[in-house]
Amino acid sequence: MSSRHAEARRRLAEIIGPDGLAVIPGAHEVIRNHDVPHPFRQDSAFWYLTGFGEPDAVAVLAPGHEEGDFSLFVQPKDPAQEVWTGIRAGTAGARADYGADAAYEISELDSVLERMMIGREVLWYSVGNDRFDERVTRIIGDARALRERMGGVVPSTIKDVSVPLGELMLHKTEEEAESLRRACHLSAEGHREAMRFARPGMHEYQVQAALEFFWRLRGSRRNGYGPIVASGANACILHYERNDSRIAEDDLILIDAAAEVDGYSSDITRTFPAGGSFTAPQRAIYDVVLAAQRKGVDLSVPGSTTGAIHDECTRVLTEGMIDLGLLPLSLDESLAMHHYVEFFMHGTSHWLGLDVHDRGSYRLDGVHRPLEPGMSFTVEPGLYVAPEKGEIELTMLAFDREEWAQRRIMMGRAAASALEDEEKENAEKITHRVPEELLGIGVRIEDDILITKGGHENMTTGVPKDVDEVEALCREESALPEG
């Protein structure tokens, strides 16, 4: 994959320019307990630029530098340590296998980087790394002292490298899109197998095992994120990851899980009946979510925005909530007063790539950015009627939805929120009783979308979401042993 990473470095180097120098630290190995580490996963931005998978490395881009544009600082070869933890690339491997123009042992970082800063006016670095910020500050100070002896300039400006990196990572090349496509197709097949495998009486973690067995067998080394396998009312917990409940006969099972391929993660959610058939209340909520999700996918075209997709999905969901008796007022009132957040409290979309919540700005100049070919993201509306929502208190706000949004633009988020909180405190409140048969039902449906020149590609159509197809798949026999 070296050509992929070399192209990413070239694109970033064009932005940095000959007066800049970028420092991008890799991830640090984290101890799980005593002397046992968590499974290591490289920092996504560092991986994007280098493809280097060892911990505690640092990449430096200095376009036009006499020692080369790309320097890599790595852990040294250590035969005694490698017996325990595996073979390291070392400086020779960094050059030969990862395309570094120059390579150094990580212990040399301070002195070499201090020297490389001479003649550079801008340091591109993402502040906020607790393990590295102080070190970078100290190196800049040492470089300034060196400049006084040697002459020349050193960086007087620090720019956030995560901003251009985020823009580059947001727009997928065809090679990146193919890795994402493979992750999506593999993840979809795992979901299909989970639908066949899951049965009442199992524990959620057994269904998780079926997914992961399938992915590992087909070549994915790791999950894209912690799997959510939520049965019954657990599906109303958005980031439920305990996965230890026993699945009951009439439970729905919400699975939000995906595999990683070449570092790229899919992100799929499906909700299906453990017993093979939806109950009438489950089907009623599912139909609303499916209608909203299909609407969101249809709107995923060049020139649209994630904001427009969210607004339209929210409208469809809110109409459904009113029809189901979850909300008591009209559509316009329910939207204006944000009553839908009682049952739909998250965004509809997020960028997707090396990070499951990938990098890149959602707004440009304060407004939602238009979707462009090469952008990948999710469409994932849901409804969550938690058991404790049998009676809800709704605030009758004095301002509508558009006014709320305008306030945040004109006043700033903090000031607008303070004013809104004050108005809410003094506003009229009503109490509404939610239909009992809907309590404890949570449904989310999520697909992964790649914007194309002519529209979009839904990369996760391999796992069904139509009710009849879902029920039919749940009734198929799994090839996996149950225990």
Distance CA 259, CA 187 (A): 5
5 counts as catalytic: no
pLDDT of residue 482: 77
339 counts as catalytic: no
Is the Cβ–Cβ distance between 394 and 300 less than 8 Å?
Answer: no
pLDDT of residue 253: 98
65 counts as catalytic: no
Distance CA 144, CA 147 (A): 5
Longest pairwise C-alpha distance within the chain: 80
444 counts as catalytic: yes
Q: What is the CATH number of domain 2-167?
A: 3.40.350.10
Q: Which residues pair with 59 in a beta bridge?
A: 24, 72
pLDDT of residue 362: 96
133 counts as catalytic: no
Is the Cβ–Cβ distance between 337 and 397 less than 8 Å?
Answer: yes
408 phi/psi in degrees, rounded to 5: -65, -30
Q: At what angle do helices 2-16 and 90-98 cross, to 10 degrees?
A: 90
What is the average per-residue pLDDT within 179-193?
97
Q: Using the structure block, give the residue that is written with the tokens 């280097």.
A: 52
Residue 38 has which token pair? 């968590």
Given 34, 35, 130, 148, the catalytic residue = 35
Every domain range in the chain assigned CATH 3.90.230.10: 172-474
Is the Cβ–Cβ distance between 139 and 113 less than 8 Å?
Answer: yes
What is the average per-residue pLDDT within 66-81?
95
Residue count (the chain): 483
Every domain range in the chain assigned CATH 3.40.350.10: 2-167
Q: How far is CA 88 from CA 5, 191, 271, 347, 418, in A?
A: 20, 36, 43, 42, 54
pLDDT of residue 401: 61
Given 43, 193, 342, 380, the catalytic residue = 380
437 counts as catalytic: no
pLDDT band per the 50, 70, 90 thresholds, residue 385 = very high
Given 10, 32, 131, 239, the catalytic residue = 239
191 counts as catalytic: no
The pLDDT tens digits of the residues spanning 220-275 come to 999 999 999 999 999 999 999 999 999 999 999 999 999 999 999 999 999 999 99
350 counts as catalytic: yes
Given 446, 447, 448, 471, the catalytic residue = 446
The pLDDT tens digits of the residues spanning 276-296 come to 999 999 999 999 999 999 999
Distance CA 193, CA 198 (A): 9
Would you say residue 110 has pLDDT above 80?
yes
Given 350, 420, 447, 456, the catalytic residue = 350
pLDDT band per the 50, 70, 90 thresholds, residue 18 = very high
The pLDDT tens digits of the residues spanning 312-340 come to 999 999 999 999 999 999 999 999 889 99
Beta strand 391-396 pairing with 428-433: antiparallel
Given 120, 359, 444, 456, the catalytic residue = 444
Q: Using the structure block, give the residue that is written with the tokens 């914007």.
A: 451
Given 191, 339, 384, 448, the catalytic residue = 384
Number of other CB atoms surrounding residue 226 within 10 Å? 13
Given 43, 114, 212, 256, the catalytic residue = 256
Which superfamily does 172-474 belong to?
A: Creatinase/methionine aminopeptidase superfamily (3.90.230.10)
pLDDT of residue 86: 93
Q: Is the dihedral of CA 170, 175, 176, 180 positive or negative?
A: positive
Is the Cβ–Cβ distance between 353 and 184 less than 8 Å?
Answer: no
256 counts as catalytic: yes
| 398 vs 285, higher pLDDT | 285
